[in-house]
């Protein structure tokens, strides 16, 4: 495994149109995500990417704004019980918000996870990420035959039951809704104003309708995509929102400026929010939700001065790319000004939190919209205050999270 942190090397890896297969490590998540968009390769990946891209088109994203806003309101009201200046961990609140948001927008299902104090699904995601991460560092657990005799295997089998159970439930529910509203193809869907009580075609509807029309994915393939998007669509954003709140609590000037912008642009979060966008990017620079990602080398490959042999894997270590002194002087300092410069003044591969090139993050625009909506409504409602001596302990599991939660204090804005 070779890790790269120089933006020029990263440019070569990420812009390549041949270096598109993921490394062997990704096989560890296949019992969960199958061959979904994140893990698939070659023609299978190309076909799926083409089919799924329209679901994240700008026009469709605008329909996702309202359900995300509804979930922001629930989050704000759930946090009221904590708005007394006392220390607490905000992460569990955020992760349930993010889960509800992806379920409602992409899958068209209202789960109301936020109304419960914890979610079996979220707990199962935590378990599977922990077990798989540990397995990736264990030589002998790599052998499937030995792994089957471990406690970790039993634990992950239990978690998978919960995760796949939820996915099957979501698909069944949405299929029923389409049948009840007599939608059998795209043209029925375009005529219908009312799917599942309200509006809009969810990402899952597109997959189900494409299947009904005969050109889409099989049942198994649909389940793989729902698993992939539920995971990628909530765990990454939860981590980004939580780290951003922590960093805002550490710098009252940045927080004040972001608050003023959130007040001035209330209701217009889909448009450019220059400062908050810079705050989000600076958060993802310091705490990239996906700290590294890897590709398989199919032929000997020259990267910079190094020849990487066929069969090895090359990884983009975003966490270190983002700490390159040449592009980000004093790299540990949280300073959103770095992203207030014109894009052309920054090396195009200096910031790679969403990856880049043909296998970049398909959910990037969705993520930015969700982050802007939730952070601006939180800023308008609460002031974030630091907790003395607290520092997050980032763990590079599949998605980077803080091992000691995100301790924070909040106070209502007057």
Does 201 bind ligand HEM (CB under 6 A)? Our answer is no
Here the tokens at position 312 are 């090895």
Q: In the complex with ligand HEM, which residue's Cβ is closer, 187 or 360?
A: 360
- C-beta of 335: minimal distance to ligand HEM in Å? 19
Segment interacting with ligand HEM (CB under 6 A) among 81-89, 140-148, 356-364, 375-383: 356-364
DSSP assignment letter at 23:
P
Q: In the complex with ligand HEM, which residue's Cβ is closer, 124 or 244?
A: 244
Annotated binding site: 361
Q: In the complex with ligand HEM, which residue's Cβ is closer, 46 or 80?
A: 46
Does 232 bind ligand HEM (CB under 6 A)? Our answer is yes
Residue with tokens 């043909």: 358
Segment interacting with ligand HEM (CB under 6 A) among 121-129, 157-165, 331-339, 350-358: 350-358
Q: In the complex with ligand HEM, which residue's Cβ is closer, 37 or 209?
A: 37
Q: 385: which strand partners? A: 409
The Cα 160–Cα 23 span in angstroms is: 22
Query: Which residues have CB under 8 Å from 397's CB, separation 6+?
Result: 129, 130, 132, 133
Does 336 bind ligand HEM (CB under 6 A)? Our answer is no
Among 178, 240, 273, 408, binds ligand HEM (CB under 6 A): 240
Q: In the complex with ligand HEM, which residue's Cβ is closer, 10 or 88?
A: 10
The set of long-range contacts for 112-121, using a CB threshold of 8 Å and a minimum separation of 24, is 114/71, 114/74, 114/75, 114/78, 115/74, 117/92, 118/92, 120/162, 120/166, 121/162, 121/163, 121/166, 121/230
Helix (H) or strand (E) holding 402: strand 400-402
Among 248, 362, 369, 378, binds ligand HEM (CB under 6 A): 362
Residue with tokens 């009312």: 194
Q: Do residues 76 and 412 make contact, with C-beta atoms less than 8 angstroms apart?
A: no
Segment interacting with ligand HEM (CB under 6 A) among 170-178, 216-224, 358-366, 384-392: 358-366
Interhelix angle 91-105/219-250, rounded to 10 degrees, is: 140
- C-beta of 86: minimal distance to ligand HEM in Å? 29
Does 37 bind ligand HEM (CB under 6 A)? Our answer is yes
Among 95, 127, 236, 376, binds ligand HEM (CB under 6 A): 236
Among 355, 377, 381, 407, binds ligand HEM (CB under 6 A): 355
Give the residue closest to ligand HEM by C-beta.
Answer: 363
Instruction: Write the DSSP assignment of 250-319 as a string of letters.
Output: H-HHHHHHHHHHHHHTTT-TTS--HHHHHHHHHHHHHS-SS--EEEE-SS-EEETTEEEPTT-EEEE-HH
Segment interacting with ligand HEM (CB under 6 A) among 84-92, 130-138, 225-233, 254-262: 225-233
Query: Which residues have CB under 8 Å from 20's CB, separation 6+?
Result: 41, 42, 45, 295, 358, 359
Q: In the complex with ligand HEM, which residue's Cβ is closer, 255 or 289?
A: 289
- C-beta of 232: minimal distance to ligand HEM in Å? 4
Among 122, 217, 290, 369, binds ligand HEM (CB under 6 A): 290
Sign of CA pseudo-dihedral 311, 316, 320, 323: positive
Annotated binding site for heme: 361
The Cα 38–Cα 316 span in angstroms is: 16
Among 93, 293, 349, 351, binds ligand HEM (CB under 6 A): 293
Chain contacts with ligand HEM (rule: CB under 6 A): 22, 37-38, 49, 106, 228-229, 232-233, 236-237, 240, 284, 289-290, 293, 353-355, 359, 361-363, 366-367
């Amino acid at each position: 495994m070779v890790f790269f942190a120089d933006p020029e090397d990263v440019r070569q890896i990420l812009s390549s149109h041949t270096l598109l297969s993921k490394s062997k490590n990704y096989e560890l998540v296949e019992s969960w995500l199958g061959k979904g968009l994140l893990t698939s390769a070659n023609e299978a990946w190309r076909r799926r990417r083409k089919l799924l891209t329209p679901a994240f088109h700008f026009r469709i994203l605008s329909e996702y704004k309202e359900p995300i806003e509804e979930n922001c309101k629930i989050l704000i009201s759930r946090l009221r019980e904590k708005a007394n200046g006392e220390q607490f961990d905000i992460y569990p609140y955020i992760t349930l918000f993010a889960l509800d948001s992806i379920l409602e927008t992409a899958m068209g299902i209202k789960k109301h996870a936020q109304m419960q104090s914890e979610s079996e699904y979220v707990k199962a995601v935590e378990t599977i990420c922990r077990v798989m991460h540990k397995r990736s560092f264990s030589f002998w657990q790599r052998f499937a035959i030995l792994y089957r005799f471990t406690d970790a295997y039993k634990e992950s089998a239990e978690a998978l039951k919960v995760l796949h159970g939820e996915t099957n439930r979501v698909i069944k529910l949405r299929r029923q809704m389409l049948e009840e509203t007599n939608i059998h193809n795209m043209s029925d869907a375009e005529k219908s104003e009312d799917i599942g009580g309200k509006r809009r075609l969810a990402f899952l509807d597109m997959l189900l309708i494409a299947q009904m029309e005969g050109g889409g994915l099989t049942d198994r393939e649909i389940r793989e995509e729902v698993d992939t998007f539920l995971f990628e669509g909530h765990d990454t954003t939860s981590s980004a929102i939580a780290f951003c709140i922590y960093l805002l609590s550490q710098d009252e000037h940045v927080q004040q400026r972001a608050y003023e912008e959130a007040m001035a642009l209330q209701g217009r979060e889909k448009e450019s929010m220059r400062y908050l966008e810079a705050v989000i990017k600076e958060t993802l620079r310091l705490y990239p939700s996906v700290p590294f990602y890897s590709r398989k080398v199919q032929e000997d490959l020259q990267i910079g001065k190094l020849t990487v042999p066929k069969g090895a894997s090359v990884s983009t270590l975003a966490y270190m790319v983002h700490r390159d002194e040449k592009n980000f002087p004093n790299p540990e300092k949280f300073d959103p000004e770095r992203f207030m410069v014109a894009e052309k003044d920054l090396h195009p591969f200096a910031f790679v939190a969403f990856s880049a090139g043909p296998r970049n993050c398909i959910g990037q625009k969705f993520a930015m919209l969700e982050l802007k909506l939730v952070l601006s409504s939180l800023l308008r409602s609460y002031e974030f205050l630091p907790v003395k001596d607290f520092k997050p302990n980032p763990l590079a599991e599949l998605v980077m999270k803080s091992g000691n939660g995100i301790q924070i204090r909040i106070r209502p804005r007057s």
